[in-house]
Amino acid sequence: MKNKAWGHFCTITRHKLLVMRYCFRIGLYRQGLLHDLSKYAPSEFIVGCRYYQGNRSPNNAEREATGVSMAWLHHKGRNKHHFEYWVDYAPDDPRVIMGAPMPPKYIAEMVMDRISASRTYQGDAYTQQHPLAYFMKSKEKLWFIHPDTKKDLEALLRILADHGEDRLLWYIRHRYLKKQLHSKR
């Protein structure tokens, strides 16, 4: 368990530092500093150590072993950069579950998170197409994500895939986050 604990700690810390660097580059300093701190809480960290494999999220392994990932439920309920955080009942019909639109700064952080997770788990095999490919595999199953959030996420990941990180980061910082200041979202 000790080696798994160290491996898990190193993996989540490497990921957190990558996200922090990306967030700083797009001007999201506070989000970069606070990103994924809940992963160090006992309810997430201990489970992460138990199911650590090094090449994928321990939440998937926990889910396969027990049928549910309690660590994931804890995590997504505390981190606004996950679209699952924004799932709620429809205001006019409590029998309907729907996604609320995410504020752009959290969509931007989610993109930084996806790039960093791909870099962390793909290692040297990482390409700028990985985050988009991962999203596209599950896109049609994501009925609970708000359509505007889904559209923005895919558009940003396509900029990454087609034009690279530097262009994406410039666009998010100088266009995407700026234009959103003037809209109602």
pLDDT(185) > 50: no
- Tens-digit pLDDT profile for residues 83-105: 999 999 988 998 999 999 999 99
pLDDT(167) > 70: yes
Coil, strand, or helix at residue 93?
strand
CB 126 within 8 A of CB 80: no
Distance CA(91)–CA(113), nearest Å, equals 30
pLDDT(181) > 80: no
Q: What is the mean pLDDT of residues 25-40?
A: 98
- Tens-digit pLDDT profile for residues 99-142: 999 999 999 999 999 999 999 999 999 999 999 999 999 999 99
- Tens-digit pLDDT profile for residues 54-66: 888 999 999 999 9
- Tens-digit pLDDT profile for residues 142-155: 989 999 999 999 99
User: pLDDT-based confidence at 179, cuts 50/70/90?
Assistant: confident
Distance CA(100)–CA(88), nearest Å, equals 7
**Closest C-alpha to 105, from 180, 18, 15:** 180
Which tokens hold the place of 128?
């700028």
CB 146 within 8 A of CB 99: yes
User: pLDDT-based confidence at 180, cuts 50/70/90?
Assistant: low
Residue with tokens 């006019």: 92
Q: What is the mean pLDDT of residues 165-175?
A: 98
What is the 8-class DSSP label of residue 129? T
Distance CA(85)–CA(72), nearest Å, equals 11
pLDDT(8) > 50: yes
